[in-house]
Chains A and B, each alone.
Chain A
Amino acid sequence: MSEMKNIKNLKEFSTSADRFEGANLLCPGCAHSIIVREVLNATNDDLVLSASTGCLEVCTAVYPYTSWDASWIHIGFENGSTAVAGAETMYKALKKKGRLKQPERTPKFVSFAGDGASYDIGFQWISGCMERGHNIMHVVLDNEVYANTGGQRSSSTPIGSSATTSPEGKKSYGEKINKKDMMTIMAAHGIPYAAQVSPNKWKDMVKKIQHGFAVEGPVFINAVSPCTTEWKFDPKDTMHIADLATDSLVFPLYEIINGQELNITYRPKNVVPVEEYLAAQGRFKHLFKDEYKYLIKEWQERVDSNWAYLQRREEARV
Chain B
Amino acid sequence: MAKKGWDEFEIGAMLRTFDGKIDNIAATQQEDRAYSQSSSYTASVADWRLIKPVFNKDYCIDCQFCWIYCPDVSIISRDKKLIGVDMDHCKGCGICVEVCPTNPKSLLMFSEQADEESVIANWPKKDEEEA
Whether A236 and B97, one on each chain, are in contact in the complex, defined by CB atoms closer than 8 angstroms, is yes
Whether B38 and A17, one on each chain, are in contact in the complex, defined by CB atoms closer than 8 angstroms, is no
Whether B88 and A29, one on each chain, are in contact in the complex, defined by CB atoms closer than 8 angstroms, is no
User: How many whole Å from A63's CB to the nearest CB in chain B?
Assistant: 6
Known: A235-B95, A239-B99. A22 touches B86 (CB 8 A): yes
Residues in chain B near residue A17, CB distance under 8 A:
25-30
Whether A238 and B73, one on each chain, are in contact in the complex, defined by CB atoms closer than 8 angstroms, is no
Stretch of A32-40, A82-90, A282-290, A302-310 contacting B (4+ beta carbons < 8 Å): A32-40
Whether A22 and B25, one on each chain, are in contact in the complex, defined by CB atoms closer than 8 angstroms, is no
Whether B79 and A15, one on each chain, are in contact in the complex, defined by CB atoms closer than 8 angstroms, is yes
Whether B89 and A22, one on each chain, are in contact in the complex, defined by CB atoms closer than 8 angstroms, is yes
With A and B bound together, what is the CA distance between A200 and B44 in angstroms?
27
**Cβ-based interface call for B17 (8 A):** yes
**Cβ-based interface call for A20 (8 A):** yes
Stretch of A65-73, A118-126, A136-144, A244-252 contacting B (4+ beta carbons < 8 Å): A65-73
Stretch of A5-13, A161-169, A214-222, A253-261 contacting B (4+ beta carbons < 8 Å): A5-13
With A and B bound together, what is the CA distance between A235 and B90 in angstroms?
13
**Cβ-based interface call for B103 (8 A):** no
Residues in chain A near residue B91, CB distance under 8 A:
28-29
Partner of B98, one of A18, A31, A45, A239: A239
User: How many whole Å from B25's CB to the nearest CB in chain A?
Assistant: 5
Q: What is the interface size of chain B, counting residues whose CB is below 8 A from a CB of the partner?
A: 51
Known: A18-B30, A237-B98. A67 touches B40 (CB 8 A): yes
Known: A12-B80, A21-B41. A68 touches B69 (CB 8 A): no
Chain A residue nearest to B73 in the complex (CB): A22
Chain A residue nearest to B66 in the complex (CB): A14
With A and B bound together, what is the CA distance between A207 and B94 in angstroms?
27
**Chain A contact patch, size range:** 35 or more
Whether A10 and B15, one on each chain, are in contact in the complex, defined by CB atoms closer than 8 angstroms, is no
Kindly supply a per-residue 1/0 record for chain B positions 58-72, scoring 1 wherever the CB is within 8 Å of any chain A CB and 0 otherwise: 000011110111111
**Cβ-based interface call for B39 (8 A):** yes
Interface of A is mostly: loop
Q: Give the most central of B30, B69, B88: most A CB within 10 Å.
A: B69
Whether B17 and A68, one on each chain, are in contact in the complex, defined by CB atoms closer than 8 angstroms, is yes
Residues 47-78 of A at the B interface (beta carbon under 8 Å) = 60-70
**Cβ-based interface call for B13 (8 A):** yes
Partner of B40, one of A28, A37, A45, A65: A65
Chain B residue nearest to A15 in the complex (CB): B80
With A and B bound together, what is the CA distance between A78 and B41 in angstroms?
28
Whether B65 and A10, one on each chain, are in contact in the complex, defined by CB atoms closer than 8 angstroms, is yes
With A and B bound together, what is the CA distance between A222 and B46 in angstroms?
32
With A and B bound together, what is the CA distance between A34 and B42 in angstroms?
20
Whether A10 and B26, one on each chain, are in contact in the complex, defined by CB atoms closer than 8 angstroms, is no
Partner of B63, one of A10, A63, A70: A10
Whether A33 and B71, one on each chain, are in contact in the complex, defined by CB atoms closer than 8 angstroms, is yes
Q: Give the most central of B26, B70, B86, B99: most A CB within 10 Å.
A: B26
Whether A31 and B62, one on each chain, are in contact in the complex, defined by CB atoms closer than 8 angstroms, is no
Other A-B pairs, 5, CB within 8 Å; known A26-B72, A69-B17: A10-B67, A14-B67, A65-B43, A67-B40, A68-B17
Which A positions have Cβ atoms within 8 angstroms of B? 10-26, 28-34, 37-38, 43-46, 60-70, 199-200, 202, 228, 235-240
